[in-house]
Amino acid sequence: MPQPTFERRPPQPPPVAFLAVTADTLVAADFRPRTRRRPPGPYRRLLATPGARAFTIGNLMARLPMGMFSVSAVVMIAGTRGSYALAGAVTATGLAATALVAPWTARLVDRHGQARVAVPATLIAALGSLALLLCVRHGAPAWTLFASYAATATTPNTGGMARARWNHLLKGDADALHAANSFEQAADELCFMLGPVLAAFLCTALFPQAGTLVGVVLLVSGMLLFTAQRSTEPPATRPRPSAKAPLRAPGIPPLLVVCLAMGGVFGAMEVVTIAFADAQGHRAAAGVVLALQAAGSCAAGLLYGAMKPAGPAEHRLPWCVAAMTALLTLPLLAASLTGSLPLLALTLLIAGMATAPTMVTTMTLVQQRTPEGRLNEGMTLAVTGLLGGIACGSAAGGWTVEHTSAAAAYGIPVTAAALALMLTLLPPRRATARVTRDAAAFR
């Protein structure tokens, strides 16, 4: 009896319905299921830019040590010399030196290119950190610690150079540039959130110099990777003789004063939070509490970048600073009325959500108002203003803690934010005239 045979037929296409229109014309309707792809998000489109991922990875590696060096120096010096006063004085000297040297380094970057200037400047800063490590380890005189740490002031503004690359690649696309600025601000917050934790872990788990040593390796390797991406590097430009310096450009001086006031918020908040946690007997938890504030800012920055900004940046800035001022009252109330550290941590997480949108909008205005070809210098001046404000805020917060209480000292960040809000509400011409008059009186 013959066995049945089975043929393998090729897979048939999904059913297609045909509709006769005329005697010799058929129109086919395809009923195959179709999948709709979501359009890529703003950050995915951003990183799809040719060369963007490579320079972003290098920049993040070089930027992470910015949150490590000061903590590593304090732990290293205080652990071997037994003096927090000496450690604080050394780091303050490095901060002051950075405020003086950083604008000059940024000006050279604009004139001669990122690769030609950033690499030697980074190597000088790395040698300064290594010299500090050796001086601490071998018991060198105290003045050598100040000299070594001051040499680290040549560290380039890595965040500013990344923003300059985005500005070069995305010129003319305001929405993409807004997403890029938000991404970079979130990266700043992430580095300053993870950097201190990593530094403290290395210095305590391994040896006191481990944080500084790892920071130097990350800084140099990251900068070499970042500057190797020559295709995305903005061209070096020599400013015209008639071009104004960023410090004298219209609208820049008021922004620098706003940065000074906002730096006071950050500096005071750090010192006061450490003092409050110490008073509660949980000083070790201060780093976690401050990290929550940075986490709130990081999340808000990414969300802010995914949204399409409404209206020009100069109109958005007062609203952002007003939100920051309002949210900063929450830690003041939590510390004053309850004295609960967990509740304070929650309010700092919420208050931090106003930081990134404010900084993104501020940096957008700095980019718009800085003369062409001097973008790194303009953004570094803004960072210098923040550093000056951080130093003033730290001093004011420490004095208030000593003479009143840590809970009452949370009024310092609120006051600094309210001052920044007042400055943003001043008309541009009036604000510029006031800054010029104050500078002349100071001289």
Torsion, Cα of 263, 201, 183, 331 (10° steps): -50
CA 342-392-343 angle, 5° bins: 10
> Domain 51-179+192-237 maps to which CATH number in 1.20.1250.20, 3.30.420.10, 3.20.20.70, 1.10.3720.10?
1.20.1250.20
Compute the distance between CA of residue 406 and CA of residue 397 in angstroms, rounded to an integer: 8
| SS3 assignment, position 28 | strand
> What pLDDT is stored for residue 182 in this prediction?
79
Distances 325 to 49, 363, 387, 416 between C-alpha atoms, Å: 36, 19, 20, 9
For the chain, which residues score pLDDT lower than 70? Answer: 1-40, 83-85, 88, 172, 238-247, 283-284, 287, 309, 373, 428-443
Compute the distance between CA of residue 362 and CA of residue 220 in angstroms, rounded to an integer: 29
> What pLDDT is stored for residue 443 in this prediction?
38
Own/partner contacts of 330-333, CB < 8 Å, gap of 24 or more, are: 331/269, 331/410, 331/413, 332/407, 332/410, 332/411, 332/413, 332/414
- Tokens for 234, please give them: 């903005």
> What pLDDT is stored for residue 69 in this prediction?
82
Measured from the Cβ of residue 368, the count of other Cβ atoms closer than 10 Å reads 14
User: How far is Cα of residue 298 from the mean position of the Cα atoms in its chain?
Assistant: 9
Domain made up of 239-443: CATH architecture = Up-down Bundle (1.20)
> What pLDDT is stored for residue 40 in this prediction?
62
> What pLDDT is stored for residue 17 in this prediction?
46
Distances 33 to 16, 30, 36, 279 between C-alpha atoms, Å: 11, 9, 10, 64
Where in the chain are all domains bearing CATH 1.20.1250.20? 51-179+192-237, 239-443
What digits encode the pLDDT tens for the residues 406-433?
888 888 899 999 998 998 887 755 444 4
Compute the distance between CA of residue 311 and CA of residue 328 in angstroms, rounded to an integer: 25
Dmax (CA) for the chain in angstroms is: 115
pTM strictly above 0.75: no
Sequence-ordered list of residues with C-beta below 8 angstroms from that of 369, at least 6 positions apart, any chain: 249, 250, 251, 252, 255, 378
